[in-house]
Amino acid sequence: MAGRRLRNLIARYRDTLGLFRWLHREYGPIVRYRILGFEFCLLSDPELIEEVLYAKRQSFEKGFMYKRSLLLPRPTIITGDGEDHKRRRRLVQPYFDRRMLDANASIMAEQVVATRDEWRDGEILDMDGTAHELTLSISLEIFFGNTLQVDATMLRRVLKLCGIDIASAMLPSRRLRRLILSSFRRLRGAYRELAEQVLAGVQSARAEDTSRFDLVSYLARATDEDGEHAFSEEEVVDGVIEMLIASLTTTATTITWATYYLARNPVARERLEREVDETLNGRVPTFEDCERLRYTGAVISEVLRLAPPAYYLGRKATRDCTVGGYFIPAGANVQLFCFPSPRDERYFPHADEFRPERWLESQPARPRCSYMPFSSGTRGCAGEAFGRTNLTCALAGIAQQWRLDLVSEEFPKLNTLASYAFRDGLPVRASGRSQGS
C-alpha cells in the first residue's frame, strides 16, 4: 500500500468509512497502509480487536489524532493513558452512578418535552439539527446547571472547530496546520470564550458553600486521598469541554439514526409507541421508566449495531508486539475498525435487517468485541448508562406525541471523517399522535 499515500489521504477525507471498507474487503482482517508520512494498521476482526483491548492492552496507548489536537494539548479522561487515565476515570465515574442518573433523567425528560412542544403538525424538521439542539439543551443543564449562560451558537462554532482539528491531524506540522486553516484562528476565539466561561464556573463552584450537582461543580470539588483538589482548573475546563463535545455528537447522531430506522420500519415504530403508551400513560419518563422500556432499549441497541457513531478506535503501539501472530512495531498507528462485525451474519443472523427484538432474546455466543458501540476494555465509555438513559428519554418523549416520517426515501449523505454521521441533515415530517394511535 506504500504507493497510495496521497490517494489514501484523498480517500480518507472524502469517505473514511468507504476507504476502511475497501481495505477490509480487498486485504482482509489486518492491513498496513500509509497516508503521507504516517503508517497505519487497520484491524477489522473482532478477535484481533479484543487482543489489542484486553490481552495486549499494556502495549498500546490512545491514538495519535487526539494527541495531535491543537485544542486539547493536555491529557484528559479521553486522551490520557496509563495510571493517569485510571485516576481520572476513578474520580469521574461516581458522577454517572444510579443516584445521579435518577436526577439527570428528570432534566433529560423535561428538555425533551420542551423541544417537542415547539413542533407543529405537518412541520418539516431537520432531525439532525433538532437532535443536536435537544442534546445541547440537556448537556448545558446537566454539565453547567443554571449558573452559566453558554451561548448555543458559540458552542456550535466550537464543534465545527473540533471537526477541523480532527480533519487536519494528518498534516505534517502544527505550524502548517495553523497556516493552512485560516478559519482556525477565527473559530479559536469561540473556543477561548467557552473555556473562559467554564473556568468561571469552576472558580464559582469552589467558592460556593451551596450544594450543586452539575458536572462542572462535581469535577471542581473532586478531591484526592489527601483532601486536595484532584484536578487543576485547566484540567476541569479541558475535561468538561471534551465530555460535552463527545456526548453531544454521539447522542444527537444516534437519535437521528433512530428516527431514520423507525421511519423505515413502521412495525417496529408501532411496537415502540405501544410500549411507551402503556408504560408511561402520558407521564414524563423517569429513570425507573427507562429501565422498564425494554423494547425502546432494544431499538437503541439495534440502531447502535447498524449505525455506531464511533465506528473505529485509534491506538498507538508503545512497544513491539504481535496481534493475531502479525508483527506490530512500536510506534505503529493501529485503527480498530469495529463497523463490519455487527453486520456480519456469523455474529448477527439477518444482519442487514433492523430487528430490535433480537436484543430481547437470548444472545448467541460471539466475540465480545463484535459489538462495542461504547468501546470496550479498560477504556469502555464511563458514561454508557448516562448515554442510554438520555437516548431512552428522547425516543420515548418524542413517541408520546409525534410520529416522524422521512421526506425522502434516499439513503442520507454521510460525513464519516470522525464519526458515522449525517452530512446534510435528515428532513422529516412531524405528525401529531394521541395515545394509542
pLDDT at 189: 76
136: CB partners within 8 A, 6+ apart: 152, 155, 248, 252
Q: What's the chain look like in SS3?
A: CHHHHHHHHHHHHHCHHHHHHHHHHHHCCEEEEEECCEEEEEECCHHHHHHHHHHCHHHEEECHHHHCCCCCCCCCCCCCCHHHHHHHHHHHHHHHCHHHHHHHHHHHHHHHHHHHCCCCCCCEEEHHHHHHHHHHHHHHHHHHCCCCCCCHHHHHHHHHHHHHHHHCCCCCCHHHHHHHCHHHHHHHHHHHHHHHHHHHHHHHHHHCCCCCCCHHHHHHHCECCCCCECCCHHHHHHHHHHHHHHHHHHHHHHHHHHHHHHHHCHHHHHHHHHHHHHHHCCCCCCHHHHHHCHHHHHHHHHHHHHCCCCCEEEEEECCCEEECCEEECCCCEEEEECCCHHHCCCCCCCCCCCCHHHHHCCCCCCCHHHCCECECHHHCCCCHHHHHHHHHHHHHHHHHHEEEEECCCCCCCEECCCCCEECCCCEEEEEECCCCC
Q: What are the residue boundaries of the structural domains of the chain, listed by start?
A: 2-432
Q: What is the CATH number of domain 2-432?
A: 1.10.630.10
pLDDT at 184: 66
CA 311 – CA 8 distance, rounded (Å): 19
pLDDT at 178: 63
pLDDT at 192: 82
pLDDT at 172: 64
pLDDT at 260: 98
10-residue averages of pLDDT along the chain (437 residues): 67 89 95 87 97 95 74 70 79 84 93 96 96 90 73 72 71 64 68 84 79 82 82 85 83 97 98 97 94 97 96 94 94 95 96 97 92 87 90 97 96 91 96 79
